[in-house]
Structure 1
Amino acid sequence: MKRWDTCRKILCVRLDNIGDVIMSSPAIRALKESFYSSITVMTSSAGGDAARLIPGVDDVITVDVPWVKLHSSPDRYDHILQLLRAKQFDAAVIFTVYSQSALPAAVLLSMANIPLRLAYCRENPYGLLSHWLPDEEPYTLIRHQVMRDLFLVRSVGAKVKDDRLTLNLPDQAWTSAKAKLQKAGVDDTKPFILLHPGVSEKKREYPQRSWMDVTRQAADLFKVPLLLTGATGEEDYTTKIERSLPGKAFSVAGMFSLDEFIMLVRYARLVVTVNTSTAHIAAATQTPVVVLYALTNPQHAPWKVPAAILPFDISESMRSRNEVIRYVHDHYYREPVPMVTPEEVVKAMQVLLEQSGIHAHTGAYSHAE
């Protein structure tokens, strides 16, 4: 059997969304730094653009599979197999959250004749994986997703010097992002705060009326432009918030490419978001972030960045049918957690902003810009 330290071509499988891909970046870098291999990331079409920005990634394959809840039209298995066989990978690592099974991906990798295959697994995978770790999460412990992924690759000898989230920042995208801000009426020479109400799953949504209250209170307190961001299709949602504060809040949802959005987060003084990919982009750009954290997966708090985490429960009707996720909710969140109030959000914003040097009521900074 091949040794991991002799592998020249390694495939990293992370078939989820943008934030998941970003959280796997330290483990991906660990493989690069330890084995000096060519690294290919296989991810969903949603995660592909983020994967291309991870330092050390040489190539990206985008495929959509039916066992990941992202797309209704998965790629054909024969197409995926032909692609993987043609690449002739020496090894593959499958990254998952604790509520996912690595075995569907392991079947593909085995059929693609990739000799070394590593993943977490609860049952004995026998020949589907050449290397595996019994998945203790969440029944014995819960690690942050970054640590979960690093612990996996460490089992085959891969380590990283710096375990923070990092992205290759597309500086040229800031020029085009600023042009779009100017077109939206935003003075791009002033400090700004970014508010991101949009979510990929409705169960993690913070109420729109509360977002309006947060925006109004923040506008009164901080005296800086408030940018309301979101994905394409969320423009009506953010525009309704904007209309309640004309000239102070600016709806810019759907206006930016991922590269531009990352630079927008990079230059924001503060980000306020639900627990979605925006929180992990903020961590990767070291932008202070307030996260309105719906109690779904406790692994996904912002990693190693100034942050305030404000948890709230999700309704029983929206809770997952996945028994692993239900176990976590029943055993770790025994008491109901009430909805975060707008006042709590604004107070958390004030604390983080003051730590960064911005003063309420003036919008002025204590250091030169």
Structure 2
Amino acid sequence: MTRRVLVVRLDGAGDVLLTGPAVRAVAAASDTEVSLLCGPDGEAAGRLLPGIRRVMVWTSPWTVSPAPPVQAADLHLVVAELAGHSFDEAVLLTSFHQSPLPTALLLRLAGIGRITGASVDYPGSLLDVRLRPGDGPGDDLPENLPEPERALAIARAAGFRLPHGDDGRLAVCTPPPVGRVLGPVAHRPYVVLHPGAAVPARRWPVEHHRRAARMLERLGLPVVVTGGSGERGLTAAVADGCALDLGGRTDLGQLAGVLAGAVALVAGNTGAAHLAAAVGTPVVSLFAPVVPAAKWRPYKVPQMLLGDQAAPCRDSRARDCPVPGHPCLSSVAPEEVVSAVRRLYPLLGRTGTGRTGRTNDT
């Protein structure tokens, strides 16, 4: 008899991508059908993850920002929808700063009989399997685990393990062909610059991006600038007639294809960095320390981490930089980024083309 398991991750695309190994662990169990409940920003990422049969979308008032109002009618609807699928159990995946308990209450009202999650607070009857986050006596989920490993630990507590031969890296389904989108660039090594981020505190200055793009082009490495439909102005300013501007021209699956063909990605701590990791592309990570790099840096992929990790904004989770001048990232010069790309792509600036061996500076 098929066991129906609901995996829950209610926030952004990058967060959902980081649950990929945990999803595969659940899907590897015999006679198991996996559904994902995610927020609207995570839907496209959820549809890229191997092992998921069904993606359900709900805007959670305790996860999404800006938060919608709490309305009884909306809660009744999501409970009824969940109940209609007759899930046998749920694996509730949250970050270190999120409580699973409000969501666990909805799952319990939907009749889900076994719920696993990680909670600092006493869960009462809301969780059947509880992990205690922290580094003290009695705690069983270390605080500084990378997010994919945290999710895997929660899945493991529920009884799900990765199959033999699965190395636990991020992964997505095979991206679609993107040759037409890239044009002539598709036949050459290229680097991707992704200047946007969901929050301003994680963005490298536009002028720095523009200068880095020009420097890379002068060294003979074409630059592709990517971004969402609402970032066309930003990508145009970075490309500046010099680089290929794909702002608003790719969905998430196509972006995965663009990243898969690149020699490196330059991006902040945002979903594109996790997507690059999922297709095995090295990342120059312009990492704002508003969240811990130990948890959120690109996972198990060659990388160069740039940015002042000891800046005053450290661990603040700020959406807007609280320090005048945004020094943690603005202090990173374009020359440093070009040097980092050189480290990840040693053929840059030499005669000849083609992909080459990659270093792993972690």
Name whichever structure is richer in helix by fraction.
1
| 119 and 56 in structure 1: CA distance in 2 versus 1, 3 angstrom threshold | same
Amino acid at match of 1:233: G
Structure 2 residue aligned with 1:303: 299
Structure 2 residue aligned with 1:218: 216
Deviations 1:122-155 (A, max 9, x none): 1110111111111117996310001111111212
Structure 1 residue aligned with 2:282: 288
| 105 and 363 in structure 1: CA distance in 2 versus 1, 3 angstrom threshold | farther
Given that residues 16 and 46 in structure 1 are in contact (C-alpha distance below 8 angstroms), is that contact kept between their aligned partners in structure 2? yes
| 71 and 40 in structure 1: CA distance in 2 versus 1, 3 angstrom threshold | farther
For residue 258 of structure 1, the aligned residue among 252, 256, 262 is 252
Q: Which moved more, 1:188-197 or 1:74-83?
A: 74-83
Q: Which moved more, 1:303-312 or 1:142-151?
A: 303-312
SS of 1:136 mapped into structure 2:
coil
d(CA) in 1 for partners of 2:145, 2:31? 27
Structure 1 residue aligned with 2:262: 268
Given that residues 34 and 157 in structure 1 are in contact (C-alpha distance below 8 angstroms), is that contact kept between their aligned partners in structure 2? no
Structure 2 residue aligned with 1:166: 171
d(CA) in 2 for partners of 1:137, 1:200? 30
Name structure 2 gaps, 5 residues minimum: 320-326, 357-362
d(CA) in 2 for partners of 1:153, 1:233? 35
For residues 28-177 of structure 1, what are the structure 2 equivalents within 5 Å?
A: 28-70=23-65, 73=68, 76-136=74-134, 141-161=143-163, 162=166, 163-170=168-175, 173-174=176-177, 177=178
Consecutive aligned runs of 4 or more in structure 1 exceeding 3 Å deviation: 70-75, 137-141, 312-322
Offset of 1:366 from its aligned partner?
Answer: 7.1
TM-score by length of 1: 0.84
d(CA) in 2 for partners of 1:276, 1:348? 18
Amino acid at match of 1:142: N
| 366 and 116 in structure 1: CA distance in 2 versus 1, 3 angstrom threshold | closer
Given that residues 292 and 312 in structure 1 are in contact (C-alpha distance below 8 angstroms), is that contact kept between their aligned partners in structure 2? no
SS of 1:119 mapped into structure 2:
strand
Percent identity, aligned pairs only?
30
TM-score by length of 2: 0.86
Correspondence 1:360 to 2:349: yes
Name structure 1 gaps, 5 residues minimum: 1-5, 323-335
Correspondence 1:180 to 2:169: no
Given that residues 9 and 92 in structure 2 are in contact (C-alpha distance below 8 angstroms), is that contact kept between their aligned partners in structure 1? yes
d(CA) in 2 for partners of 1:277, 1:362? 33
Given that residues 228 and 248 in structure 2 are in contact (C-alpha distance below 8 angstroms), is that contact kept between their aligned partners in structure 1? yes
Given that residues 15 and 44 in structure 1 are in contact (C-alpha distance below 8 angstroms), is that contact kept between their aligned partners in structure 2? yes
d(CA) in 1 for partners of 2:296, 2:317? 16
Correspondence 1:341 to 2:333: yes
Given that residues 203 and 319 in structure 1 are in contact (C-alpha distance below 8 angstroms), is that contact kept between their aligned partners in structure 2? no
SS of 1:126 mapped into structure 2:
coil
Structure 1 residue aligned with 2:322: none
Given that residues 164 and 284 in structure 1 are in contact (C-alpha distance below 8 angstroms), is that contact kept between their aligned partners in structure 2? yes
